[in-house]
A = this chain, B = another copy of it.
Amino acid sequence: MEYVFSDRISSLAPSAIREILKFTADPEVIAFAAGNPSAEAFPTEAVAKIAGQILAENPISALQYSISEGYTPLRDALKSWMKTDYNIGTEGDDLIVTSGAQQAIELTCKVLCNEGDTVLCEDPSFIGSLNAFRSYHVQLKGVPVEADGISIQRLEDALKREKNVRFLYLIPNFQNPSGITMSLAKRQEVYRLACKYNVIILEDNPYGDLRYTGEDIPTIKSMDEEGRVIYAGSFSKILSPGMRVGYVVAPKPVIGKLTVAKQVSDVHTTILSQLICHRFLTEYDIHAHIAGLRTLYRGKLDLMLSELDRGFGGKVKYTRPEGGLFLWATLPEGVDMMQFCRDAVARKVAVVPGTAFLADESGSSQSFRMNYSTPSDDNIVKGVRILSELIAETIH
């Protein structure tokens, strides 16, 4: 039998990332390609204790149907946390729980865009979000990222040039894949342009709490006076990605539509996960836990950077992130990036080819993404040394 699929899904190509990631199932491969929290990052005893309490005290609450908006005490705790620590949320905003920030991103595109509408994004950007947008058959247009964030000139050019721009997708903090952080001045300028050209901003901030050096910079959402910013947050990088709990703060009319879309997507987010996040957020010291994560990952980033400084010999450039999970290395012109990534995997080190993160999938890239949260310290040293040998042999 011949199967005919929708245009939106037929046009969604399996990504180059999968070619590389399938090798990472091999336990001998050093995984610089993933984006997983470190195994040391999970508060396993706290989660076990909380889950035990919930299932002993009120098991029905963890097993029965719940409401699409999310567990009300968790929503209230998140609203309070966001307002107190980040000045996020106004009278005109509301917050709902989603099945990871991925769902918030996918539903935002579903409720805002008709097929053929345009979405602007940083170039490169997170492949999971780009594929979510592609799955609604929108036009994806990338705007180059500079050392201090998206190019303002190129952004305004795109806003003037492109038709039916519905929203601008941004990861201002420790961007995936580049590790770059957008400066305060650029955040203010991006918001001004969004107002001028009447587009929505979707601000994705999964790594915001994971800053290892420098000063925190206000989110774009915290500057939002017009009700123009949709903010996606997540427990994935600060507690557990396997629980699939994220949240979205947005103007109430947008939240209303997102809730309808969420209801038809999965009815509600797993309620036991929500109950665990709620207790962890309200009964444990979330700030102390995050401080511990920062110490853990700062050590891993510093280790990787010092190994790169020693091993890459100036032949390969790389970003020096102030937080997050990723850095972005760029090979000199003339070197075949895809072949380099294949050679690295053959030597049991997996990195992600930069082409995976482009708005235009047929574009070219000299870069690759490296992750330092997943590998052990020993493997960071070993993996960078293997890549350094490959560079020494390949680039003269």
> A residues within 8 Å of B by Cβ?
1, 3-9, 12, 14, 34-37, 39, 42, 44, 47-48, 51-52, 55-56, 59-60, 62-66, 99-100, 102-103, 106, 110-115, 117, 128, 131-132, 135, 166, 226-228, 236, 239-244, 251, 253-254, 257, 260-261, 263-273
**Contact B9 A36, beta carbon cutoff 8 Å:** no
Contacts A63-B242, A264-B135 given; does A99 touch B102 at CB 8 Å: no
Enumerate chain B residues within 8 angstroms of A253, measured Cβ to Cβ: 3
Protomer copies = 2
Measured between alpha carbons, how far is A240 from B63 in the docked complex, in Å?
Answer: 5
**Contact A63 B42, beta carbon cutoff 8 Å:** yes
**Contact A251 B8, beta carbon cutoff 8 Å:** no
**Contact B66 A9, beta carbon cutoff 8 Å:** no
Enumerate chain B residues within 8 angstroms of A111, measured Cβ to Cβ: 5-6, 9
Residue of B nearest to A252 (CB): B3
Question: Which of A36, A166, A228, A264 has the most CB atoms of chain B within a 10 A radius of its CB?
Answer: A264
Measured between alpha carbons, how far is A254 from B42 in the docked complex, in Å?
Answer: 36
**Contact A251 B1, beta carbon cutoff 8 Å:** yes
**Contact B5 A265, beta carbon cutoff 8 Å:** no
Enumerate chain B residues within 8 angstroms of A271, measured Cβ to Cβ: 242-243
Contacts A14-B260, A102-B264 given; does A62 touch B242 at CB 8 Å: yes
Residue of B nearest to A268 (CB): B244
Measured between alpha carbons, how far is A113 from B7 in the docked complex, in Å?
Answer: 8
**Contact A100 B242, beta carbon cutoff 8 Å:** no
Measured between alpha carbons, how far is A251 from B360 in the docked complex, in Å?
Answer: 31
Measured between alpha carbons, how far is A56 from B51 in the docked complex, in Å?
Answer: 11
Contacts A6-B111, A48-B52, A272-B273 given; does A103 touch B265 at CB 8 Å: yes
Residue of B nearest to A135 (CB): B264
Task: Report A155 CB to chain B, min CB distance, Å.
Answer: 20
